[in-house]
Amino acid sequence: MAKITFTFEDKSIKPVLVEHAETGFSILEITEDHDVHLNHNCGGVCACSTCHIYVNKGADNLEEISEKEEDFIDRAIDPRIESRLACQCIILDDDAEIEVEIPDQKQIIGHEH
């Protein structure tokens, strides 16, 4: 199973290590299953940019970025070259080691959990 390390732009939140992330699931689904806070106003259907993340390591173990996803990333707060939408990051490799940074969620109005 894949390993995902979540770090946070908000340094008051401690990093989270998920050691058993299953292939075929999105990073958004992994956050939901492991109580990692990540907004997702559209419910994870690539219709907004609130689940914006930075994939700092392991991007080659995720499904490729689509044009639709790129369009929504352009609308995200502080997009970077390593930006992705967590709802579109499907894990492809059981041996993946992925590092994800979650931008500060306080700037996003909407879904809170």
72's tokens: 């929504």
pLDDT at 113: 45
Q: From CA 13, how far away is CA 7, in angstroms rounded?
A: 8
pLDDT at 106: 83
- Kind plus residue range of the DSSP H or E element containing 16: strand 16-21
Look up tokens 């970025």; give the residue.
Answer: 65
DSSP-assigned beta bridge partners for residue 99:
5, 57
Q: Could you tell me the residue ranges of all domains in the chain?
A: 2-107
- Mean pLDDT, contiguous 10-residue spans, the chain (113 residues): 96 96 98 95 92 98 97 94 98 97 82 47
Domain 2-107 CATH assignment equals 3.10.20.30 = yes
- Give which of 34, 33, 43, 39 is closest to 15, Cα–Cα: 34
pTM of full prediction above 0.85: yes
